[in-house]
Structure 1
Amino acid sequence: MKQFTMIVIKINEMINFMNKFIAIVGSNSSKSTNRELLKYMQRHFKSQAEIELVEIKGLPIFKKSANKYVPQTARNIAKKIEAADGVIIATPEYDHSIPAVLSSALAWLSYGIHPFVDKPVMITGASYGSLGSSRAQAQLRQILDSPELKARIMPSSEFLLGHSLQAFDDNDNLKDIEITEQLNGLFKDFLQFVNISKQLNNANVVNKQQAEQFLWDKD
């Protein structure tokens, strides 16, 4: 009981510190509503966390090489992820899946470098239709849970922004109060999830070693 109380006290102390998050725009579109969503979160939650947007549109398509070359752009993103307390990813949905540019970026970020290991991740998504990238988010969860990535994805949480072209007002704020309240609640949960995750890294060294040593073609 005493040990549990001490953990709760530590978590409450952590909450008083400003967390720093990396927000990955999972699209290479210049007018992505997923970017718009992340910019809104950056402004809306500025008193609760520092959120830095990261673009992946400058990354080349993933390609294996004999010397396991990783572009410097990918290495720079990896350093930002490693230094952050958590990651937010906003994905659109193309053909029931995440965009090729996001899949390629995650491949680079698990090829000789492994910044996502045990890193808390919140998944969001916006789409022009009514489903709000739900199938893409489900696929993204599977990818982030793979042996090469080993991210710690916040469970039972989906923020699905449907009809995203009509979702924002002239000041780039969400129009729907209910949707805004849902996002507020999920973000509050993510802050708690991040702070709890800081207490759950006893196997981090081993997890990183396993990610580095994993090969799909190895028996």
Structure 2
Amino acid sequence: MKLIGIVGTNSDQSTNRKLLQFIQKHFADKAEIEICEIKGLPAFNEPKDKTAPAGIQELAEKIEAADGVIISTPEYDHSIPAALKSVIEWLSYSVQPFIDKPVMITGASHGSLGSSRAQAHLRQILDAPELKARIMPSAEFLLGRSLQAFDEEGNLVDREKIAELEDCFEEFVLFVEITNALLKEHHIRKVQNKDFSWK
């Protein structure tokens, strides 16, 4: 199984990057996970020809080719970072690679709530008609107080959190398999709404 993990921030010191790196290493026997950055991608500006910049197109191609996607988001002002929202706007406005794509949402934050409100907002966003992602239901992984959550080697130190993450990841692998099998079996085709406009 091939997955991609999207670091949902442009921060250089993000614990969400650390979380995805731990997931990549810890579940290496279950899936090949490529970590993708959104740092340096331009802000969305709604070009008339709906052509996304090269970095966005490259990310879209990786999403298309993957069996599933893991997005790890911090929480800024009770929501997702502007950089992540901008990337999602690019993708929904141009090539729409999230349509029917299985997605798992995780999040780490310095506070005790573990990006719970940001994750709720991200679920709403990914469920929009121009995105139509297949979001794993009834499961979330929240890592609070993330500055103290990792050791020097980047491993999670809380065994209960590791067990919780293992349960979530196992469920996601099953969700990816079932979702993709269902889509293949019923020949559900992705619909590109080329006439879409937010105006």
Q: Is 2:9 the counterpart of 1:24?
A: no
Q: Is 2:26 the counterpart of 1:44?
A: yes
The aligned residue for residue 73 of structure 2 is: 91
C-alpha deviation, 1:172, in angstroms: 1.0
The aligned residue for residue 145 of structure 1 is: 127
Letter in 1 for 2:40: G
Q: Is 2:2 the counterpart of 1:54?
A: no
Q: Is 2:188 the counterpart of 1:204?
A: yes
Give runs of aligned pairs for residues 188-203 of structure 1, distance below 5 A.
188-201=170-183, 202=186
The aligned residue for residue 138 of structure 2 is: 156
Q: Is the 8 A contact 1:27 1:102 kept in 2?
A: yes
- Rounded Cα–Cα distance in structure 2 between residues aligned with 1:35 and 1:172: 10
C-alpha deviation, 1:212, in angstroms: 3.8
* 1:117-152 Cα distance to aligned partner (Å, 9 max, x none): 000000000000000000000000000000110000
Letter in 2 for 1:125: G
Q: Is the 8 A contact 1:26 1:89 kept in 2?
A: yes
> Structure 1 unaligned runs (5+)?
1-18
C-alpha deviation, 1:204, in angstroms: 3.4
Q: TM-score with structure 2 length normalisation?
A: 0.95
Q: Indicate the larger mover: 61-70 or 186-195.
A: 61-70
What is the DSSP-based 3-state SS (H/G/I as helix, E as strand, rest coil) of the residue aligned with 1:208?
coil
| Alignment match of 1:117 (pick from 90, 96, 99) | 99
What is the DSSP-based 3-state SS (H/G/I as helix, E as strand, rest coil) of the residue aligned with 2:182?
coil
What is the DSSP-based 3-state SS (H/G/I as helix, E as strand, rest coil) of the residue aligned with 1:121?
strand
- Rounded Cα–Cα distance in structure 2 between residues aligned with 1:74 and 1:56: 9
The aligned residue for residue 186 of structure 1 is: 168
- Rounded Cα–Cα distance in structure 1 between residues aligned with 2:148 and 2:107: 15
Q: Is the 8 A contact 1:147 1:214 kept in 2?
A: no
- Rounded Cα–Cα distance in structure 2 between residues aligned with 1:150 and 1:183: 25
Report the CA distance shift for 1:203/1:62 in structure 2 as closer, same or farther (over 3 A): farther
C-alpha deviation, 1:213, in angstroms: 4.2
Letter in 2 for 1:208: V
The aligned residue for residue 17 of structure 2 is: 35
Percentage identity across paired residues of the two chains: 60
Structure label with greater radius of gyration = 1
C-alpha deviation, 1:108, in angstroms: 0.7
- Rounded Cα–Cα distance in structure 2 between residues aligned with 1:203 and 1:134: 35
> Structure 2 unaligned runs (5+)?
none
Once superposed, what is the RMSD of the aligned Cα atoms? 1.2
C-alpha deviation, 1:169, in angstroms: 1.1
Q: TM-score with structure 1 length normalisation?
A: 0.87
C-alpha deviation, 1:111, in angstroms: 1.4
- Runs of 4+ off more than 6 Å: none
Letter in 2 for 1:73: G
* 1:49-82 Cα distance to aligned partner (Å, 9 max, x none): 0000000112100001222231011000000000
The aligned residue for residue 3 of structure 1 is: none
The aligned residue for residue 80 of structure 1 is: 62
| Alignment match of 2:47 (pick from 34, 54, 65) | 65
